[in-house]
Structure 1
Amino acid sequence: MTLVVAFIGITRPPVWTDEAATISAADRGVSAFVDLVSTIDIVHGLYYLLMMPWIDVFGSSPLSIRTPSALVLTAGAFIAVRLTMRYAHVEAPDRAVTAGLAAGVLFAVLPGLAWMGQEARPYPFGTVCALLAWWSYERWLRTHEDRWLILLVVAHLLAIYFTLYAAMAVPLYVLRALGHGRRTALKATGAAAALGAGTLPLVLTAVPQQGQVSWISTTPLSMLQGMAAKQFFIGYGLSDGPWFEPVRVIAVILACLTLVLVLLGMVLGPLRRTQAWLWSWIAFPALVLLVVRLVGGQFYEARFLAFTAPALVVLLALVTTVCIRRRAVGLVTLGVVVVLCVPAVIGQHERTKNNSDYRSAYALLERADTIYFLDAGSRAIVTAYPQQTPAKDPMLLESPEESGSLYGRNRLLDVALQGSPSGTTAVVTQRADREGQGDNHDAVVDRFVSTGCTVQASLEDAYNRSTLLECPAP
């Protein structure tokens, strides 16, 4: 079911800024790739490395770059189902299959997971690796076979290299192991130490690049609101369109309903320890980021904690199928949760991600013979949707490969503007309220108009401004 939901309308949302970064980073040689991640996006380096051969073989169309995410997320659904059935079997063997089916449905439609199946970014990879580590941990606690502990370390280390924030879940392994005897606790501590050592090179490289998240600006209240509603019940990227306002209301209802169900599950009694373990996966990373925010740090973004969403899936599946003894009541409750999740999933399939409509921008720019990208980052548009015949790019000084960057390095504006434009010409900038040359957009357009160019069309979205002009022949 997860695969079906992921592939329905998978090409409908336009490729957006972060996905363009995936294309740019993965569509280059190994040497240029090393140069790139040494200065930017090291936290996504493993994902880019995996996408390099994929793009070489299958190209960089929206379907191609999003298919790996859909496939990997589907594998995660299988692991979540197996975990749920294992937990349910302890208390109610006769309901294990029902619990597994519930988990499969919830995994497919929970907005906090569904968005990842249509996103060419590393988050589903990190989520599934964290799930595999979690499953290995359960096997190790039950069998005490060291091979499962080794698999845990490998899987969770991969999760961290796909999603750095997954490192916040590592202490949970040690805390739970404390209740299983001294020997088990010592082995879990050793595994945690191995994970710490394995993560250290990534952290040391990522620290100088932490300016990449400097754009994050949240208050403790907005963080709590995001953690309660957006993170799980809206999903990332849905911020406009006809579905957005209804989904915001529904997300609050779902958050309240989930809180009631969690409390009900604890009161009713079965699987209290399991529920506490599942809740710790959700609450502990959120609490860490909230404390960091209270002392002045800014590191919370809903998608960064996407790896915690499977814990909510398993928790809701167990409460509705095992903890609620009346089967009919539990299934009806499950049905209500599923139905309330559907509008957000539909909205995700219809959306322009974060109001970034690169497809429409490309439709305008493909007519241009010359494009003045006043900000290097605006080249993400033609990275996402390459022109059949690349336009002249007077602003480009060094290509992405030469500059070790995602979109190249620009020359000085005055140098690029020497002479008069001719033919169909476009001016593209990042929005004036974003970091860049947005304030120069009108000045450059006015300068071209003064030489005889006429404005043919313009477009503005959350990230870029584009203006198309027709200029006289020289």
Structure 2
Amino acid sequence: MVPAGPALLALALGLWGLRRQDALWRDEAATWEVAQRSLPEIWHLLGHVDVVHGLYYLLIHTLFEIFGAGPAVLRLPSVLAITLAAAATAATARRLTGPMGALAAGLVPALLPVMQRYAQEGRSFALVTAGVAVATWLLVGVLCPAESGGPRDGRGRRVGYGWRWAGYTVVMLGTALLNWLSLFALAAHGVTVLIARRSGQRAQQGRWLAAAAVMVPGVLPLVLASRPQAGQVAWIPPASAASLLGVTAMLVVALVCARVPRPAGTGPSPVSVGLPLLAVPQLGLLLASWLVTPLYVDRYVLYSYLGLALLVGPALGWAVRTTGAYARRRGWARVPGEALLAGVVAVVFLALLPLELGLREPTSRTDDVRVAAATVAALARPGDGVVYIPDQRRDAALVTPSSFRGLDDLALAEDPVSSGTLYGVEASPARIRAAMLARHRIVLVSDTEPAALPPAPRDLVKRAVLDRYFVRTATADTGGRRVTVYERAR
């Protein structure tokens, strides 16, 4: 019953404010638009962009076909994924520590604001986290001493591991196909297996290597196919000082929690499982960012927080037990450990409540595609031209086409579906300039904050034409977007 409490809490927090007043931010808008294409159209797209998200797009496409498109349908898989991750983390910790520490470990991913954020987003990161959580539970099941005492065959060999290793292989392969950066979790599991080998679990090393030998070739085609599309992550800046400080702080907390005493045993400990799962993905992604290309974004290794939970949970369980024992020695009223833990959870929840409320506001993400589209509908007139800087801001028209009815996209040469792209293919700068000069009114959709990347040549032309030949007559900043109306100067 230990996993039930964390699962119920994660589910309740995930469903709370799930719709966010139907706001969609730019990443969710990509999922929303692609998932509503036909299967041949999705396949055509993956040959050009977003092949790393192909399996996820197919999943959401299927759900949209069954239940219809809607923000709740888009985000519900992520809610269920974090619910599963919390339950699997508690079940994993139950094999490594006592019930109190296991319960606390499962509550950590349920309460972490970063987990709550991605539990309510229509992207694949929560599903990847659930996959890693289940795979970790399967791995610990073959390493823990409780399983070592299981049935044996006529030669004295333990039996019953085959289904776990098969399940581990399938789950990790599926997880890697959702996001191949989850292979850092495979490496972390390798460290855990290597530590277990020193504790007498030598046979499991060969089985883990066999599983890895299936997974790596299985995901290699996806890795190779994504390399020509590497330009999609060109927006990622080098790892900032804040990122380094955050990773350092987590590792310090983890190391402090690792000092908590635990009962002697020969099997894996929370430290041997949790510390690699936290450190290897975080440090591995940082190292790749320094040596290869900037790539560090915490959501890419969201699953590493499960390692933190496996360390914080047992430490919190130990603190609860120690506090209860101290109270009994002092002759104070006896308080059950579960009640003490519930009190800690209540205090943490209340302390995090401002963050939790903020995450459920429509303004909590970078932008809101739908409110920007509504602003266009309010300011534009039929027959106006519309341009986007950069062209990715066309997502507002793709998600809410009714708001752009009667407007002419002056830069678009080939639509997204036929071109197999997310935002379509724009015409040459000269053709864009000519189309803009033929209009009396133009609506510009852009960002309120300038992009980190240098503007594209087409965007320079759009801006130059507007500044030289047009006069700004209306501007509205809303939902992280800026909608500006220009009229031809007299």
TM-score normalised by length of structure 2: 0.79
How big is the shift at 1:132? 1.3
Note closer, same or farther for the CA distance 1:204–1:260 as it changes in structure 2 (3 Å cut): closer
How big is the shift at 1:338? 4.3
Note closer, same or farther for the CA distance 1:351–1:109 as it changes in structure 2 (3 Å cut): farther
How big is the shift at 1:85? 2.5
In 2, are the aligned partners of 1:428 and 1:466 still within 8 Å (CA)? yes
Q: In the aligned structure 2, how far is the partner of 1:209 from the partner of 1:264?
A: 40
Q: In the aligned structure 1, how far is the partner of 2:365 from the partner of 2:213?
A: 38
User: Secondary structure, in 3 states, of the residue corresponding to 2:409?
Assistant: coil
Q: Choose from 112, 115, 118 the match for 1:113.
A: 115
In 2, are the aligned partners of 1:373 and 1:427 still within 8 Å (CA)? yes
How big is the shift at 1:81? 2.4
Q: Which amino acid aligns with 2:316?
A: T
Task: After TM superposition, list the pairs within 5 Å mapping 1:49-60 onto structure 2.
Answer: 49-60=58-69
The number of residue pairs the alignment matches comes to 432
Note closer, same or farther for the CA distance 1:264–1:282 as it changes in structure 2 (3 Å cut): closer
Unaligned runs of 5+ in 1: 230-254
| Structure 1 range deviating more: 272-281 or 40-49 | 272-281
2:94 matched to which residue of 1? 85
Q: In the aligned structure 1, how far is the partner of 2:213 from the partner of 2:68?
A: 40
User: Secondary structure, in 3 states, of the residue corresponding to 1:325?
Assistant: helix
In 2, are the aligned partners of 1:76 and 1:131 still within 8 Å (CA)? yes
Q: In the aligned structure 2, how far is the partner of 1:215 from the partner of 1:389?
A: 28
Q: In the aligned structure 2, how far is the partner of 1:418 from the partner of 1:398?
A: 20
Q: Which amino acid aligns with 2:474?
A: Q
Q: In the aligned structure 2, how far is the partner of 1:417 from the partner of 1:12?
A: 36
Q: Choose from 270, 287, 290 the match for 2:286.
A: 290
Q: Choose from 414, 417, 441 the match for 2:433.
A: 414
1:135 matched to which residue of 2? 137
Q: In the aligned structure 2, how far is the partner of 1:284 from the partner of 1:296?
A: 17
Task: After TM superposition, list the pairs within 5 Å mapping 1:426-437 onto structure 2.
Answer: 426-429=443-446, 432-433=450-451, 434=453, 435-436=455-456
- Residue 483 of structure 2 corresponds to residue 466 of structure 1: yes
In 1, are the aligned partners of 2:189 and 2:277 still within 8 Å (CA)? no
CA deviation vs aligned residue, 1:111-163 (integer Å, no higher than 9, x gap) = 12111111000001111111111111122333651111011011011111112
Q: In the aligned structure 2, how far is the partner of 1:382 from the partner of 1:455?
A: 22
Q: Choose from 201, 223, 229 the match for 1:203.
A: 223
- Residue 390 of structure 2 corresponds to residue 372 of structure 1: no
Task: After TM superposition, list the pairs within 5 Å mapping 1:377-388 onto structure 2.
Answer: 377-387=392-402
1:225 matched to which residue of 2? 245
Task: After TM superposition, list the pairs within 5 Å mapping 1:164-313 onto structure 2.
Answer: 164-178=180-194, 179=197, 180-219=200-239, 221-228=241-248, 259=252, 262-270=255-263, 273-295=269-291, 297-313=293-309
Q: In the aligned structure 2, how far is the partner of 1:41 from the partner of 1:49?
A: 12
User: Secondary structure, in 3 states, of the residue corresponding to 1:372?
Assistant: strand
How big is the shift at 1:200? 0.6
Q: In the aligned structure 1, how far is the partner of 2:348 from the partner of 2:166?
A: 37
How big is the shift at 1:106? 2.5
How big is the shift at 1:214? 1.7
Q: Choose from 348, 357, 371 the match for 1:360.
A: 371
How big is the shift at 1:319? 1.3
Q: In the aligned structure 2, how far is the partner of 1:350 from the partner of 1:371?
A: 32
In 1, are the aligned partners of 2:29 and 2:369 still within 8 Å (CA)? no
In 2, are the aligned partners of 1:265 and 1:324 still within 8 Å (CA)? no
How big is the shift at 1:219? 3.9
1:347 matched to which residue of 2? 358
User: Secondary structure, in 3 states, of the residue corresponding to 1:456?
Assistant: strand
Note closer, same or farther for the CA distance 1:109–1:69 as it changes in structure 2 (3 Å cut): same
Matched-pair identity in %? 26
2:10 matched to which residue of 1? 2
Q: In the aligned structure 1, how far is the partner of 2:130 from the partner of 2:369?
A: 29
Note closer, same or farther for the CA distance 1:266–1:194 as it changes in structure 2 (3 Å cut): same
How big is the shift at 1:195? 1.1
Q: In the aligned structure 2, how far is the partner of 1:338 from the partner of 1:173?
A: 31
1:235 matched to which residue of 2? none
Q: In the aligned structure 2, how far is the partner of 1:465 from the partner of 1:270?
A: 59
How big is the shift at 1:266? 1.8
How big is the shift at 1:432? 4.8
Q: Which amino acid aligns with 1:376?
A: D
Q: In the aligned structure 1, how far is the partner of 2:292 from the partner of 2:222?
A: 23
Q: In the aligned structure 1, how far is the partner of 2:257 from the partner of 2:201?
A: 30
In 2, are the aligned partners of 1:129 and 1:156 still within 8 Å (CA)? yes
Unaligned runs of 5+ in 2: 1-8, 151-159, 327-339
Note closer, same or farther for the CA distance 1:291–1:267 as it changes in structure 2 (3 Å cut): same
Q: Which amino acid aligns with 2:141?
A: R
| Structure 1 range deviating more: 298-307 or 366-375 | 366-375
TM-score normalised by length of structure 1: 0.81
Note closer, same or farther for the CA distance 1:228–1:383 as it changes in structure 2 (3 Å cut): farther
RMSD: 3.0
Note closer, same or farther for the CA distance 1:216–1:260 as it changes in structure 2 (3 Å cut): closer
CA deviation vs aligned residue, 1:23-51 (integer Å, no higher than 9, x gap) = 12211122221121112111111100111
In 2, are the aligned partners of 1:457 and 1:469 still within 8 Å (CA)? no
Note closer, same or farther for the CA distance 1:118–1:345 as it changes in structure 2 (3 Å cut): same
Q: In the aligned structure 1, how far is the partner of 2:385 from the partner of 2:18?
A: 30
Q: Which amino acid aligns with 2:425?
A: R
| Structure 1 range deviating more: 178-187 or 118-127 | 178-187
Note closer, same or farther for the CA distance 1:426–1:220 as it changes in structure 2 (3 Å cut): closer
